A and B are shown apart, each in its own frame.
Chain A
Amino acid sequence: MDIIIAILVTGLTNGALYALATLGLSLVWGSMGMLNMAHGSMLALGGYMVFTMAVGVGLPVWTGFVAAAAAGAIFGGLLYFGVVRPLLKSGGPGFETSVMIATVGISIALENALLLSFGGQPLSQPFAVAGSVNLGAGVMPWLNVTIVVVAVLVMGAMGFLISKTKMGRAIRATAQNRDAALLMGVPVEWTYLQVLGLAGALAGICGVLLSAVTQLSPTLGADPMLKAFIMCVVAGLGNLPGAVISAFGLALIEAAVQFGLGARWGFPVLLMLVIAILIWRPNGLFGRAQIRRM
């Protein structure tokens, strides 16, 4: 019984974190066909922002959340003006791959900048919630509850933004068909900027929550980003609700395998499962086959 509770606590916490990371990736992929390899380092950026605000400047911790979201959004904007816009304009060979390589470069640079300014030793995150609640057989730390609640609130806000607001409608229209959206008067470039800013803010908040359960280090985002990629792929790239479902599902499976077979096997088993799913459904569990014109 206590093992089941431990699996649920770990799985749900990780699931919430993965879901937030996946959402940012999937949003950017779905609306502009861009795989943002710098997403992981943006998570680290968010984590370090809280550290700077709370420990460096001495402001209350909640300002750190705002700062993390703002820093992520600004970085997303810089990414748009520095990389995405020129690449879209030049129409070079395969936007899809060149933007991926360029963001890998940006990611390495950002991680290295964090390393140079904060040092490589792991720091502890000032954002923490003490205590835990007893569930009979097992314990559930309040920190994990907070993470899940914050993540669900952020996801809810995102869902509202995408489905109900004008901005969300513009994003969905651009995602469906860029040229048609452009012809209908949707400011596509402005929408792209919004999407990258939004994904950056999501990454910032996710980074804060993530570094509260692990520790702050420049490469803190690498592992969650890899798993977020896998979850995006399982869900079908660009499918937001599917991404959230598969994030929670895979995190629970991963936690169960880790408790059952040892921590070492969590990721390999996950990957086997993903490959099996992709052989069965090459466009992901929730993805629809694309019909391409020649």
Chain B
Amino acid sequence: MSDTSIKISAKTPAPAGNGMRADLAIGIVFLVCAIAAPFVIDSKYLIGQLIVGLFWAAIAVQWNLLFGYAGVFSLAQMALFAVGGYGTAMTATYLGFNIWMAILSGAVAATIFSMLVGLACLRLQGVYVALLTFAISNVLYLLIVTDTACYEMIGTTCRQFTGGPSGFSRFGDFGMRPVLRGDWVKGNYAIVLAGFVLTLLSSWVIIRSPMGLAFKALRDNQGYAIARGINRFHTQLLVFGISAFFTGLTGGLYAAHFQAIGPSVFSMNTLLFIMAIAVVGGTGTFWGPVLGTIVLMVADEVMRDAGQFRTLGLGLLIAVFVVLLPRGIVGRIGDFLTSIRARQNAPRQGD
């Protein structure tokens, strides 16, 4: 196993000095497109899909930070998202928080939850982490769905403390309806986009910071990194918590946008979709999750016509991508660029 990890480090080209300029250029293009979108598109459905895409991209960016950069294979990403969403809904419902406070407390709740999960799981390695986080999110789902004890009565129906199988709804929204009237979706889009940009920026800063170097080192050669004085447990716990904060924030925005949150967010299919986004785009590449979201959302829309075969197609698509393009689209492009550069440099060295 140790030699495969060496292979990875050899294959992953170190970001060149102009990587920062390239990131900035791509970022500006992306931002211009994203800001222009609501002025160009008039269909409410399409804007709604763009918002959903931003949610998935934000989760995928955080999962990629965790898996692609820090090498922590966590399957609890949707559970953290759900804790963020549920935290928002529950603090707004039970404590009467306004929606912004509620979203913030959802994100904090997700961070605290991730710390507990991390304390239990991160002492372990690789697949063990994946299995335990998978099991923990399943337990959380089961406990919510099978919750039958009445917490309070609303009219004639009883509501469980965790919302039970039906979840929470009508706990407040972004308050865009009275301001923008018919265009309230565009207002929501702006807020979600702001949240996404914040998520993206934070992960960029983390990846470029000394801390980012530390967890890339841990991913590439754990033994060597530890020997150089990096504390694996602390570093991974830290990145787990940071990623959980932004995932929880996205969960809160999701709950506020849809004005509802239910146990369906835990579903394996959603987690799979997030993983597919990261894998198709390219794990361990900064723009991979963003590109992956665009590709998969478009593929999803196209396959919507195929109706019942959509899930089947998505499953096969993931398998095919992993087998044929193991480093994703962005990774492939990166390989292609380095090979061109190498070819350009070769004759000069011969002179």
Give the chain B neighbours of A113 by CB distance below 8 A.
312
Q: Write the nearest CB–CB distance from B72 to chain A, whole angstroms.
A: 11
Binary contact track A87-125/B, C-beta < 8 Å → 1, others 0: 100111111111111111111111011001000000000
Q: Judge if A184 is at the interface, Cβ distance under 8 Å.
A: no
**Is A48's CB within 8 Å of the partner chain B?**
no
List residues 269-294 of chain A with CB under 8 A from any CB of chain B.
271, 274-275, 278-279, 282, 292-294
Interface centre among A83, A93, A113, A230 (most CB of B within 10 A): A93
**Which residues of chain A come closer than 8 Å to B269, judged between CB atoms?**
108
Query: Which of the candidate stretches B19-27, B82-90, B130-138, B339-347 sits at the interface with the other chain?
Result: B130-138
State how many residues of chain B have any CB contact under 8 Å with chain A: 55
Inter-subunit contact A108/B315 (CB<8 Å): yes
Q: Check if B139 sits within 8 Å of A267, measured CB to CB.
A: yes
B316 within 8 A of A: yes
The distance from the CB of B145 to the nearest CB of chain A, in whole angstroms, is: 10
Given A94-B4, A292-B2; A109-B315 close (CB under 8 Å): yes
Whether, in the assembled complex, B7 has its beta carbon less than 8 Å from a beta carbon of chain A, the answer is yes
Binding-face segment, B177-185, B237-245, B272-280? B272-280
CB B305 to nearest CB in A, in angstroms, measures 16
Q: Which residue of A lies closest to B140 (CB)?
A: A268
Is B314's beta carbon under 8 Å from chain A? yes
Instruction: State the CA gap A279–B73 with chains docked (Å).
Output: 18
A294 touches B221 (CB 8 A): yes
**How far, in angstroms, from A29 to B143 measured CA to CA in the complex?**
30
B323 and A104 form a contact (CB under 8 A): no
A96 touches B146 (CB 8 A): no
Q: With the chains together, A157 CA to B132 CA distance in Å?
A: 31
The verdict on B295 contacting chain A, using a C-beta distance below 8 Å, is: no
- Chain B residues within 8 Å of A, Cβ to Cβ: 1-2, 4-5, 7-8, 11-12, 67, 73, 120-121, 123-128, 130-132, 134-136, 138-139, 142-143, 146, 221, 223-224, 268-269, 272, 275-276, 279, 283-284, 308-309, 311-312, 314-319, 322-324, 326-327
- 8 new A-B contacts, CB < 8 A, other than A29-B127, A229-B134, A264-B146, are A83-B323, A90-B326, A97-B73, A105-B322, A110-B315, A112-B315, A222-B268, A275-B121
